[in-house]
Amino acid sequence: MTSTLEPLSTATDYAVRLTSVSKTFGHGESAVTAVDRVDLTVRPREFVCLLGASGCGKSTLLNLIGGLERPTAGEVELTTGRPAVMFQEAALLPWLTAAQNVELPLRLAGLDRRARRDRAEQLLGLVRLVGMGRKRPHELSGGMRQRVALARALACTSNDNALLLMDEPFSALDAITRDVLQAELLRVWRETGTAVVFVTHDVREAVRLGQRVVLLSSRPGRVMQEWSVAGDADIVDDINTRLREVISSHVVA
């Protein structure tokens, strides 16, 4: 990774911008604030990892960016098209083949059969699943399913200036597969130039993947600290220490 963080050059130079975004569930006394006044800017082609323990509103934040939920206060601005989303589980449709799963978003977008097939083939090639298009999800391993899900997510985006939202997509995989898929994701990210917001609770994963790591506190989720990853090894320990402090602060007195 070669990138160093530069200050934003122009005001519109962002893929997604959150301005003082809050999200509260419920009303009155039982109301729970999941996300509290979060400011976050992700530049085009940037890879940002959101890191936090459980209950930090990571997934809520992702849902807010993805438009699956509306903020209670604040503003979410996107310069990209509809963001693509990847979940912890592959969530492939089991009655469709791998290729049909990738084609479905294209079909819903109104592409004709031929264009769909070509694009799906290209995307399956991108995640190194050439020749696997006819397999059904149950005939694939967990890692392969997650790659099909990545191809499907990419099929939801337009080619340039895309945004990919990933909600702990590798946390259910075994260590070896996770390691390979992290490398795979970085390669795909470089090749496609999409911006990525990647939610995880794994510090090493965040540091390996992200150009920037954003630490969130829990209940309510707030931005605690940010690191730009420039390849130094100490950063993992540094983030770990801070994460432990944040978690410890939640001990019920």
Partner 1 sequence: MSSHSAVEREDDEAVEAGLDALTSPQAAPPDKRARFVGRVLPPVIALVVIGCLWQALWAAAFWPEYQLPAPAAVLDQIVQQVRSGQIVGFLWVSVHRAVIGFAVSVVVAVPLGLLIANVPPVRRAIGPLISGLQSLPSVAWVPAGVLWFGLTDYAIYFVVLLGAVPSIANGLVSGVDQIPPIFHRVGLVIGATRLTAVRHVLLPAALPGFLAGLKQGWAFSWRSLMAAELIATSPQLGVGLGQVLHNGMSLSDMSLVMAAILLIFFVGVGIELALFRPLERSVLRARGLGGGL
What part of residues 56-95 is at the interface with partner 1 (CB under 8 A)? 66, 68, 82, 84-85, 87, 89, 91, 93-95
Q: Is 156 in the site for partner 1 (CB under 8 A)?
A: yes
Compute the distance between CA of residue 2 and CA of residue 20 in angstroms, rounded to an integer: 30
Residues 6+ apart with CB under 8 A from 7: none
Task: Please answer whether residues 197 and 62 qualify as being in contact, where contact means their C-beta atoms are separated by less than 8 angstroms.
Answer: yes
Task: Please answer whether residues 165 and 86 qualify as being in contact, where contact means their C-beta atoms are separated by less than 8 angstroms.
Answer: yes
Task: Give me 228's structure tokens.
Answer: 């730009």
Cα-based distances in Å from 35 to 14, 137, 216, 246: 21, 35, 10, 16
Contact window for partner 1 (CB under 8 A) among 42-50, 115-123, 141-149, 215-223: 141-149
Contact window for partner 1 (CB under 8 A) among 20-28, 46-54, 72-80, 105-113: 105-113
Among 76, 124, 126, 140, binds partner 1 (CB under 8 A): 140
Q: Is 40 in the site for partner 1 (CB under 8 A)?
A: no
User: Cα 17 vs. chain centroid, distance in angstroms?
Assistant: 15
> Toward partner 1, which CB reaches closer, 74 or 142?
142
> Toward partner 1, which CB reaches closer, 139 or 245?
139
Compute the distance between CA of residue 184 and CA of residue 167 in angstroms, rounded to an integer: 16
Q: Is 131 in the site for partner 1 (CB under 8 A)?
A: no
Instruction: Please tell me whether the peptide bond between 7 and the residue prior to it is cis, using omega within 30 degrees of 0.
Output: no
Q: Is 215 in the site for partner 1 (CB under 8 A)?
A: no
> Toward partner 1, which CB reaches closer, 73 or 109?
109
Contact window for partner 1 (CB under 8 A) among 8-16, 25-33, 104-112, 197-205: 104-112
Task: Please answer whether residues 137 and 148 qualify as being in contact, where contact means their C-beta atoms are separated by less than 8 angstroms.
Answer: yes
Nearest Cα to 132, choosing from 150, 154, 147?
147
Q: Is 124 in the site for partner 1 (CB under 8 A)?
A: no
Q: Is 130 in the site for partner 1 (CB under 8 A)?
A: no
Binding residues (CB under 8 A) for partner 1: these are: 1-2, 66, 68, 82, 84-85, 87, 89, 91, 93-95, 104-105, 107-109, 128, 136-144, 152-153, 155-156, 176-177, 180, 183-184, 186-187, 190, 231
